[in-house]
Amino acid sequence: MSEENFMDNGEDVKPSATKVDPAVPASLTWQRKIDSDAKAPREFSLTAKEILQMAPVGIRLWFLCREEAAKGRLAFIDPFSKHSVTSSHGVPLGGIGSGSIGRSFKGEFQRWQLFPPKCEDEPVLANQFSAFVSRANGKKYSSVLCPRNPKLAKQDSESGIGSWDWNLKGDKSTYHALYPRSWTVYEGEPDPELRIVCRQVSPFIPHNYKESSFPVSVFTFTIHNLGDTTADATLLFTWANSVGGDSEFSGGHYNSNIMMNDGVKGVLLHHKTANGLPSLSYAISAQETDGVSVSVCPFFTVSGDQNGITAKDMWKIIKEHGSFDHLDASDASTQSEHGSSIGAAVAASATVLPGESRIITFALAWDCPEVQFPSGKIYSRRYAKFYGIHGDAAAQIAYDAILGHSQWESWIEDWQRPILEDKRLPAWYPITLFNELYYLNSGGTLWTDGSSPLHSLAGVREKKFSLDKSQSGLKSIIDVPHQQQQNDTAVSVLEKMASTLEQLHASTASNSAFGTKLLEEGEENIGHFLYLEGIEYRMWNTYDVHFYASFALVMLFPKLELSIQRDFAAAVMLHDPTKVKTLSEGQWVQRKVLGAVPHDLGINDPWFEVNGYNLHNTDRWKDLNPKFVLQVYRDVVATGDKKFALAVWPSVYVAMAYMAQFDKDGDGMIENEGFPDQTYDTWSASGVSAYCGGLWVAALQAASALAREVGDKNSQDYFWSKFQKAKVVYEKKLWNGSYFNYDNSGSRYSSSIQADQLAGQWYARASGLMPIVDEDNARTALEKVYNFNVMKIKDGKRGAVNGMHPDGKVDTASMQSREIWSGVTYALAATMIQEGLVDKAFQTASGIYEAAWSETGLGYSFQTPEAWNTNDQYRSLTYMRPLAIWSMQWALTRISNKQKQFGLESELEPEPSSLMKHDIGFSRVSRLLNLPNESSAKGTVQTLFEYACRRMMS
């Protein structure tokens, strides 16, 4: 596929005429038998040395977790709280940024992320599809289309869902996944002469910024009658009034019937969410067509002592009659009682003649348009721009999905088919490429409509205000004649409150990382986009990791990538002197200083309170600012958006000036400071390092190229001269003849072979810039990494270990040096592709497939972790960085297009006097951004502890 097919031209995708058979899986899919017992993932453990190293951090983190819990908040990481881990995940439901519901390949609905960053892992077992078949010869079959879960309690068997027919074995039924679609082929189950195919699709549509935000999935069942007798078949969709966890038992929930045009019928489930979270409504629907009839059971008791029909009663009715046409639904609107759980069901029935097929379509939608953070700020989700903010749109969303999903699938087919049919690619690659995109749904993603936040009273501090001083405004609302008033009073009051509170807090927006303020008049406000570093690492838009993952966004949703970049450009100019205690040394430091790119956009108050991460003082990190500059330039190359380039250029300049303070000896090269001051946050570097040094060299070239794009000739020349100087220093201090040393400190770990040593070269090449190192040296270093870091680890079937000594032993300097990082391995493979080592690239990346996705792997499918070690133990499941597989596709695409190199070497050398004049101005900016010396803040106890550790480990 050409690059133009990936890049966005500013328009949403156009209608497609491609016809797709929902009963036929894609040509390449990830597959499992439904009865598969996948390997249970094993969590990492620390060595005695690492426990000693990290003990002070662990103690401080334990206290932090307790403090945050007491405030009703989550710490940025909590290793002390265990969560459910399973290896049966499949393609999740919904678009992006509107909440996510996971689904296992067995058929269970699990991993609930409707209120990120909160994640409820356990399945809600009442949520099922079931099939009932009656043959003309008198034979009858019935089963839930999911194997029985051992967690079904004994009491559930009396009147609850345990009494249903859990007859599915699954040994003949196969699950196929190619995100955002999946197909489950029930071969001869429950009826041996029936094949049932369920195709699940969600609106994840590249370059589409409308439907892709919708909280909905469609399930299309194709029933094939392979027998010689007529089959009367009923498919049943049951759904509990639950959002995962214990909220379903909190009481006050109720259900109601819905009936819309075009034969769409269903049930609305109104959920009064517990624990201060917003209310939510579901719609489960099906469409009546010729030969397909739909009936509903709007209420049944899943568990508890609630009055009304039980789950057992409901099952008996549908089993005997094949529909709910004769059901007395008089108690449908009854509210659930505390301690009880209620549900609803939709049944679709059809007669299938021998040798023929029937298609039945269901939809699941949810509506929760508000997102509220612990700070009290409330945002509207992107899809509310199209469906309103009142929380009453679930039925309409489901209806639109049933009528429009065929077009979604045509768009998805047009996008995926060229890659699937590219015979140059190994079969595992397209499957993994598409399936890793699950994270843009399941990574706690939030997509707002771009408007300013509302503020609950919990977010108002020390400010007095009146909703309406004259009271005439409210009186005019309340005095509206009753026949005109309807339900608008609450709406009008809410609008008045919103207006007043927005005015109250208008001044705070300028003290935020809102990139929308960088938009020019007339530019589209696509909204703000957030995603978590990981389900266990609860920080929004962690930037050092986004550096790797962002290729997926810039290729598929470039407007969202630019939105993130604007937010970070605004954050560069933000200064927050609030004191925060670091976990590493117990120092009190400023939360965020002017000129530093933040580690993340926050946790409890994103955009307004950045840097939720406090393991280290990230204002001293050496990779964040160069990564910002490199990503900005790459995004300008990808989109051609000159307005964006002009808007963020001041932030790029300041970010570069900020870094000058880390060039201690004035040789043009920044130095690491002996602590983990980069994305490898337990792995220290000192002096010039391969990783951060390479990023700095590449960023200097990118800054020069960006200056050219915005017409700043003096800055272009200045950064170009600094690039030439730093490039020489980098190779001189680190190149050892076969690879670039980890750093030049002379320690016993300095000669470690780092898998990620050419990160700067990778991004320079990816952006069409000149290589930052000699090309022969780059290939030689990559050969070394391949032979040592890749092939010496289980014959190349686990990916690239981060650090390897020249003697072939894994670097054990830290926990992370001995880990394999899935996203870094993908990035390494992309670097190899760019340097012409294509076969080695696919062999390298195939190790991630073998470990994470293959049937003989480690059980990480649809939850690819940040890392695993050489003992096959994972750390941090469901993580952002593995989206870096899209950097491989970026590299393949650009090579196939023979993308030109944007070198600057042919331009005339600038006058020395001009460079000197610019250096004076740059240095003045740099000095103003210098950090205070905080090294003296280390406590006596900490100093003594570190001294003892060094003595014991020496």
* pLDDT tens figures, 361-399: 999 999 999 999 998 899 999 999 999 999 999 999 999
* pLDDT tens figures, 262-303: 999 999 999 998 778 889 999 999 999 999 999 999 999 999
Instruction: Identify the bridge partners of residue 867 per DSSP, sorted by sequence position.
Output: 821, 875
Does the pLDDT at position 916 exceed 90?
no
Write down the pLDDT at residue 12.
58
Dihedrals φ, ψ of 144, to 5°? Answer: -65, 140
CB within 8 Å of 629: residues ≥ 6 apart: 652, 655, 656, 699, 702, 703, 706
Write down the pLDDT at residue 494.
54
Instruction: Identify the bridge partners of residue 357 per DSSP, sorted by sequence position.
Output: 224
Per residue in 15-42, is it b (16+ CB within 10 Å) or e — as a string? ebeeebebbebbebbbbbbbebebeebe
Q: Strands 128-135 and 140-144: what pairing?
A: antiparallel
pTM of the predicted structure, to 2 decimals: 0.92
Dihedrals φ, ψ of 98, to 5°? Answer: -120, 20
Mapped to the 3 state alphabet, what secondary structure does 112-176 carry?
A: EECCCCCCECCCCCCCEEEEEEEECCCCEEEEECCCCCCCCCHHHHCCCHHHCCCCCCCCCCEEE
* CA separation, residue 28 to residues 32, 285, 434, 440 (Å): 13, 30, 11, 21
Please give the biggest Cα pair distance in the chain: 97
Cα angle: 84, vertex 90, 95; to 5 degrees: 105
* pLDDT tens figures, 488-499: 555 555 565 566
Contact by Cβ (8 Å): 533, 879: yes
* pLDDT tens figures, 2-58: 333 333 333 456 787 788 999 999 999 999 999 998 788 999 999 998 898 889 999
Average pLDDT over residues 600-617: 95
**Percent of the chain clearing pLDDT 90 (strictly above):** 77
Contact by Cβ (8 Å): 805, 752: yes
Write down the pLDDT at residue 467.
54
| The two three-digit tokens of residue 393, written as one number | 């749109």
Q: For residue 152, how many other CB atoms are within 10 A of its CB?
A: 16
| The two three-digit tokens of residue 138, written as one number | 């008198």
Does the pLDDT at position 472 exceed 80?
no
Write down the pLDDT at residue 905.
55
Average pLDDT over residues 504-522: 75
Does the pLDDT at position 698 exceed 50?
yes
CA-wise closest residue to 295 among 331, 325, 256, 269: 325
* CA separation, residue 869 to residues 313, 578, 798, 811 (Å): 51, 37, 9, 12
* pLDDT tens figures, 195-241: 999 999 999 999 999 999 999 999 999 999 999 999 999 999 999 99
Write down the pLDDT at residue 861.
97
* pLDDT tens figures, 807-840: 999 999 999 999 999 999 999 999 999 999 999 9
Does the pLDDT at position 149 exceed 70?
yes
Write down the pLDDT at residue 484.
41
* pLDDT tens figures, 247-257: 899 999 999 99
Dihedrals φ, ψ of 557, to 5°? Answer: -135, 65
* pLDDT tens figures, 857-894: 999 999 999 999 999 999 999 999 999 999 999 999 98
* pLDDT tens figures, 77-129: 998 888 889 999 999 999 999 999 999 999 999 999 999 999 999 999 999 99
- Three-class secondary structure of residue 491 per DSSP: helix
Write down the pLDDT at residue 389.
93
Whole-angstrom Cα distance, residue 656 to residue 701?
11
Whole-angstrom Cα distance, residue 611 to residue 847?
33
Write down the pLDDT at residue 922.
85
Does the pLDDT at position 465 exceed 60?
no
Average pLDDT over residues 454-479: 51
Contact by Cβ (8 Å): 30, 431: yes
* pLDDT tens figures, 173-207: 999 999 999 999 999 999 999 999 999 999 999 99
Write down the pLDDT at residue 788.
98
Write down the pLDDT at residue 497.
55
Q: What is the residue-wise DSSP string for 565-624?
A: HHHHHHHHT--EEEEEE-TTT--EEEEE-TTPPPS-S-SSSTTTS-----SS-GGG-SSH
* pLDDT tens figures, 152-169: 876 577 789 999 999 999
Instruction: Identify the bridge partners of residue 133 per DSSP, sorted by sequence position.
Output: 141, 233
Contact by Cβ (8 Å): 298, 332: yes
Instruction: Identify the bridge partners of residue 268 per DSSP, sorted by sequence position.
Output: 256, 283
Angle between helix 690-710 and 642-659 (nearest 10) = 140
Write down the pLDDT at residue 307.
87
Contact by Cβ (8 Å): 822, 852: yes
Contact by Cβ (8 Å): 493, 474: yes
CA distance from start to end of the chain: 55
Write down the pLDDT at residue 477.
41
Average pLDDT over residues 649-669: 96
Peptide linkage before 190 cis (omega within 30 of 0): yes
Q: What is the residue-wise DSSP string for 384-430?
A: HHHH-SSS--HHHHHHHHHHHHHHHHHHHHHHHHHHHT-TTS-THHH
Does the pLDDT at position 774 exceed 80?
yes
Does the pLDDT at position 745 exceed 70?
yes
Whole-angstrom Cα distance, residue 180 to residue 384?
22
Instruction: Identify the bridge partners of residue 753 per DSSP, sorted by sequence position.
Output: 804
Q: Across all residues in the chain, what is the average pLDDT?
A: 90
Does the pLDDT at position 689 exceed 90?
yes
According to DSSP, residue 363 is labeled E
Write down the pLDDT at residue 9.
36
The residue type at 153: A
Write down the pLDDT at residue 894.
84
Comparing 472-476, 515-519, 661-665, the range with the smallest average pLDDT is 472-476
Whole-angstrom Cα distance, residue 170 to residue 953?
53
Write down the pLDDT at residue 643.
96
What band does 480 get if pLDDT is binned at 50, 70 and 90? very low
Q: For residue 390, how many other CB atoms are within 10 A of its CB?
A: 14
- Three-class secondary structure of residue 833 per DSSP: helix
Whole-angstrom Cα distance, residue 635 to residue 801?
29
Q: For residue 339, how many other CB atoms are within 10 A of its CB?
A: 12
Whole-angstrom Cα distance, residue 714 to residue 673?
31
Element (H, E) at 725: helix 713-734
Write down the pLDDT at residue 940.
46
* CA separation, residue 544 to residues 575, 630, 631, 677 (Å): 20, 12, 11, 11
Average pLDDT over residues 519-544: 95
Write down the pLDDT at residue 511.
72
Q: Strands 30-33 and 174-178: what pairing?
A: antiparallel
Q: Strands 370-372 and 874-875: what pairing?
A: unpaired
Write down the pLDDT at residue 880.
98
Whole-angstrom Cα distance, residue 746 to residue 82?
41
| The two three-digit tokens of residue 77, written as one number | 């990481």
Whole-angstrom Cα distance, residue 847 to residue 800?
8
**Percent of the chain clearing pLDDT 70 (strictly above):** 88
